[in-house]
């Protein structure tokens, strides 16, 4: 009897300890390394990295306009006006003396935590490619948060000798077509509201917040919790953590693991239909970067060994679709993307997890390697890394460590181009520049 009790409390403790809400916050997740699948992140035995191209989302910010206006501000204002006595409200009692982080004054700016993480990424990338020629240039789309993230990266990479690398800012405009780091902004067919509409995100939000609302209304009857309040509290866990270092909203006493997973799935649905497989436009927006860096890496006389560019959260997921990564339909023999993401319940075994694809400072890289590996032909191989973890291409794994031989990789990129290289047509703007020429 006694040992059973001990066992079950041990199981409870390890369960709680192994669940980290910060790994389920989608676009508000502090930078992390999911390492899924857990393949070795170093080049396989017998291989050396000879070139690489990185596309990085900016580091952590205080808040974005949409999240703040839709969820956080209404919640924080309601809280300030509420007569609810929180002191006896159990898991909500921290609200008696909680003060909101000052998001409004710093909207869209990167936080100190974010700056620090951008510097660390610079250190990590320098260490990983210490044998390569350091880059002469790093690129950033022109928003303050992307430029500052690139700046932090350069500081870390050069150990504070910033003058060693030029930071080239790339305008975020509507008339540049595919020739920028923000192709979605120059694509008339793209809308930032895809996926956040009534029929998808709100439908699922209503499903998962209903029991939470009931529970919290019992604890705090005069606050009248609503759907958007609940979403605000999940989001505050992420934003407060990247502003202050931690947040009482991340407590597992407040929301259970199942509830955190619901919040994550709600976001995954939104991104799936906004910049993922739920929208045929997505790979068309991601393809120009894949084409441009493949050309740069394949070119023996390219100007740089390392190409690093900073942009916004829309871009890593569209590049993932252009490369066929995180495709829920893989190996199913069918292609009905929407069926893989129902909006009334969670598909727990989906490949499409935005917390892994687009957390703050997420980075997607194509790495070229020279290999003399046992059991393989000597030569060049390519692989894709997301947040340092290899993501084997479904269509090409003939190399060491699930990498792809150069000939097959170039063929693969050409084939993707034949399917998805129609930026102008897909965007409804036939005059738009269809290629990214930044790295030429």
Ligand X SMILES: *[C@@H]1O[C@H](CO)[C@@H](O)[C@H](O)[C@H]1NC(C)=O
Kindly list the residues in this chain that would bind ligand X in the complex (CB under 6 A): 46, 48, 131, 199, 224, 226, 273, 277-278, 283, 321, 324, 327, 329-330, 332, 335, 338, 370-372, 434-435
Structure tokens at 414: 């050409």
Q: Which residue is nearest to ligand X (CB)?
A: 434
Beta carbon nearer to ligand X, 36 or 332: 332
Pair 233, 75: CB distance under 8 Å = yes
Q: How far is the CB of 430 from ligand X (least distance, A)?
A: 9
| Pick 152 or 177: Cβ nearer ligand X | 177
Shortest CB 326 distance to ligand X, Å: 10
Among 239, 216, 273, residue whose Cα is nearest residue 95: 216
User: Residue 286's closest CA among 326, 252, 251, 330?
Assistant: 326
Strand partners, 370: 48, 380
Q: Nearest distance from residue 280's CB to ligand X, in Å?
A: 8
Closest-CA residue to 290 (of 184, 122, 413, 407): 413
C-beta closer to ligand X: residue 56 or 269: 269
Q: Which residues pair with 54 in a beta bridge?
A: 308, 365
CB of 23 to ligand X, least distance (A): 25
**Least Cβ distance, residue 224 to ligand X (angstroms):** 4
Sign of the four-CA dihedral 233, 235, 238, 244: negative
Min separation Cβ 26 and ligand X, Å? 18
DSSP readout, 392-433? Answer: -BTTB--SGGG-EEHHHHHHHHHHHHHHH--HHHHHT-TTS-
State which residue, 245 or 407, has the beta carbon closest to ligand X. Answer: 407
Q: Which is nearer to ligand X, 153 or 194 (CB)?
A: 194
- Tokens 């894709």 belong to residue: 384
Q: CB of 418: closest distance to ligand X in angstroms?
A: 11
- Identify which of residues 99 and 336 has a Cβ nearer to ligand X in the complex: 336
CA distances from 267 to 24, 76, 302 (A): 10, 21, 39
Q: How far is the CB of 101 from ligand X (least distance, A)?
A: 25
Would you tell me how many other CB atoms lie within 10 Å of the CB of residue 192? 12
Nearer to ligand X, 273 or 363 (CB): 273
The residues, ordered by sequence, that sit 6+ positions from 172 with a Cβ below 8 Å of its Cβ are 141, 142, 143, 180, 181, 182, 185
Minimum gap (Å) between residue 72 Cβ and ligand X: 16
Cα–Cα dist 104/62, whole Å:
8
Which of these, 394, 245, 239, lies nearest to 321 by C-alpha position?
394
Nearer to ligand X, 175 or 199 (CB): 199
- As a whole number of Å, the end-to-end CA separation of the chain is 71
Least separation in angstroms between residue 210's CB and ligand X is 13
Q: How far is the CB of 102 from ligand X (least distance, A)?
A: 26
Q: Which residues contact 125 (CB under 8 A, 6 or more apart)?
A: 54, 153, 157, 306, 308
What DSSP designation does 177 have?
Answer: T
**In the complex, minimum distance from the CB of residue 349 to ligand X, in angstroms, rounded to a whole number:** 15
The smaller minimum CB distance to ligand X, of residues 38 and 331, is found at: 331
Measured between alpha carbons, how far is 131 from 192 in angstroms, rounded to an integer?
A: 41
For ligand X, give the closer residue by CB, 119 or 373: 373
- The bridge status of strand 137-141 relative to strand 166-170 is parallel
Q: Which is nearer to ligand X, 331 or 348 (CB)?
A: 331
> Quick check: 426 and 280 in contact, CB under 8 A?
yes
Nearer to ligand X, 62 or 75 (CB): 75
Tokens standing for 54?
């990185």
Say how far apart CA 286 and CA 290 lie, in whole Å: 7
């Amino acid at each position: 009897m006694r040992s059973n009790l001990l066992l079950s409390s041990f199981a409870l403790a390890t369960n709680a300890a192994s669940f980290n809400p910060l790994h389920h916050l989608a676009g508000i997740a502090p930078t992390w390394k999911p390492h899924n699948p857990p393949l070795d992140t170093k080049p396989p035995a017998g291989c050396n990295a000879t070139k690489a191209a990185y596309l990085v989302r900016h580091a952590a910010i205080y808040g974005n306009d949409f999240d703040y206006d839709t969820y956080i501000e209404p919640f924080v204002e309601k809280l300030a006006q509420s007569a609810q006595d929180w002191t006896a409200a159990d898991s909500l009692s921290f609200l008696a003396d909680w003060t909101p982080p000052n998001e409004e004054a710093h909207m869209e700016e990167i936080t100190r935590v974010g700056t620090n993480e951008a510097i660390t990424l610079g250190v990590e990338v320098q260490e990983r490619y210490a044998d390569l020629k350091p880059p002469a240039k790093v690129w950033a789309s022109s928003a303050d948060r992307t430029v500052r993230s690139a700046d932090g990266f350069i500081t870390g990479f050069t150990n504070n000798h910033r003058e060693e690398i030029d930071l080239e800012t790339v305008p975020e405009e509507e008339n540049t077509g595919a020739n920028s780091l923000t192709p979605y902004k120059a694509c008339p067919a793209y809308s930032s509201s895809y996926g956040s509409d009534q029929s998808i995100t709100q439908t699922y939000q209503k499903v998962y917040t209903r029991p939470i609302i009931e529970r919290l209304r019992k604890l705090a009857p005069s606050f009248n919790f609503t759907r958007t309040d609940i979403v605000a509290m999940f989001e505050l866990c992420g934003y407060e953590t990247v502003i202050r270092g931690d947040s009482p909203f991340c407590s597992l006493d407040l929301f259970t693991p199942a509830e955190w997973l619901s919040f994550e799935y709600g976001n995954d649905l939104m991104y799936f239909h906004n910049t993922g497989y739920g929208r045929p436009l997505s790979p068309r927006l991601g393809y120009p970067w894949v084409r441009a860096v493949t050309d740069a890496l394949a070119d023996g006389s390219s100007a740089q060994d390392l190409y690093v560019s900073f942009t916004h959260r829309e871009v890593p997921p569209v590049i993932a679709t252009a490369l066929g990564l995180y495709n829920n339909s893989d190996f199913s023999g069918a292609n009905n993307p929407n069926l893989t993401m129902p909006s009334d319940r969670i598909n727990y075994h989906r490949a499409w997890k935005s917390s892994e694809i687009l957390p703050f400072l997420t980075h997607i890289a194509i790495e070229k390697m020279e290999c003399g590996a046992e059991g393989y032909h000597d030569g060049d191989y390519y692989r894709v890394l997301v947040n340092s973890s290899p993501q084997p291409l479904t269509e090409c794994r003939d190399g060491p460590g699930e990498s792809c031989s150069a000939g097959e990789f170039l063929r693969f990129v050409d084939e993707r181009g034949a399917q998805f290289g129609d930026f102008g047509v897909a965007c409804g703007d036939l005059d738009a520049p269809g290629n990214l020429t930044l790295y030429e």
